[in-house]
């Protein structure tokens, strides 16, 4: 019988979650849901959760679990006819448990990328904040340096992507992600990929999803967000 497909993608900053999510959305027709994009949308729209979230992000902190779940879960519950891939959520065990109460996941993809690779990638990461589009000056450069391909607007580098900031971010990520990884391992849905190149990992993820997704009904395939 056909069913909807639900997946999450996890990994430290710079591990390629956004890049791989876009490839999955494009190849398999899933909707790519980015928690960072949801947060930014709420901040721009000045929703109650968005205003609250901004106070934490400004201090370089994660948004608290109850704010994050209040922001995200209703959006997921609306998507009853859609297969999706969630990127950036859950970040903590409490978020994983809240998600588990709301829906059944088929797959949790875990990206395990060496620290030196992450540092190198983030050093060259440029983003277009209004759309969330991500570039890399070596891997996928924009057509014109420093300029977004679609809008022609300027690209920026995030303070957080500096190598000095990354080490602390990564340590924090490891501490909070470990229980989430164990949670999905215990459920038997964890698939971990380790390599220095997205192009090496991608065929393996694509093969995995090909075995999991063919039973999805065509009306359950939704367009990507970008």
Ligand X SMILES: Nc1ncnc2c1ncn2[C@H]1C[C@H](O)[C@@H](COP(=O)(O)OP(=O)(O)OP(=O)(O)O)O1
User: What are the binding residues for a ribonucleoside 5'-triphosphate?
Assistant: 14-19, 125, 134-135, 198
> Whole-number minimum distance, CB 189 to ligand GDP, in Å?
20
Site for ligand GDP in 73-102 (CB under 6 A): none
Using alpha carbons, select from 90, 113, 99 the residue that is nearest to residue 12. 113
Distances (CA, A) of 148 to 38, 128, 186: 21, 6, 42
- Does the protein bind ligand GDP through residue 121 (CB under 6 A)? yes
Do residues 20 and 27 touch, judged by C-beta distance below 8 A? no
Q: For ligand X, which stretch binds (CB under 6 A), given 21-29, 89-97, 189-197, 214-222? A: 89-97
Task: State how far the Cα of 130 lies from the Cα of 157, in Å rounded to an integer.
Answer: 13
Residue with Cβ nearer ligand GDP (15 or 92)? 15
Closest-approach residue to ligand X (CB): 36
Q: What's the closest the beta carbon of residue 26 comes to ligand GDP, in angstroms?
A: 14
Q: Is 14 in the site for ligand GDP (CB under 6 A)?
A: yes
Q: Is 15 a binder of ligand GDP (CB under 6 A)?
A: yes
Closest of 110, 119, 151 to residue 133, by C-alpha: 151
- Cα(154)–Cα(147) distance, integer angstroms: 5
């Amino acid at each position: 019988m056909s069913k909807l497909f639900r997946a999450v993608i996890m990994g430290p900053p710079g591990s390629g979650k956004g890049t791989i999510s876009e490839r999955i959305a494009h190849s398999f027709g899933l909707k790519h849901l980015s928690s960072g994009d949801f947060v930014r949308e709420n901040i721009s729209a000045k929703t109650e959760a968005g205003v609250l979230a901004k106070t934490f992000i400004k201090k370089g902190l994660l948004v608290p679990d109850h704010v994050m779940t209040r922001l995200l879960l209703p959006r997921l519950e609306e998507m009853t006819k859609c297969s999706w891939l969630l990127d950036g959520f859950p970040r903590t065990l409490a978020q994983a448990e809240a998600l588990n109460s709301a829906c059944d996941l088929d797959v949790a993809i875990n990206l395990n990328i060496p620290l030196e690779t992450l540092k190198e990638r983030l050093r060259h990461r440029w983003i277009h904040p209004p759309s969330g589009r991500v570039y890399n000056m070596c891997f996928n450069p924009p057509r014109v340096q420093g300029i977004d391909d679609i809008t022609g607007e300027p690209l920026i580098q995030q303070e957080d992507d500096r190598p000095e900031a990354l080490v602390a971010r990564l340590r924090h990520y490891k501490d909070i992600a470990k229980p989430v990884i164990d949670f999905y391992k215990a459920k038997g849905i964890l698939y971990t990929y380790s390599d220095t190149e997205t192009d090496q990992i991608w065929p393996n993820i694509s093969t995995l999803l090909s075995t999991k997704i063919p039973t999805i009904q065509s009306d359950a395939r939704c367009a990507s967000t970008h």
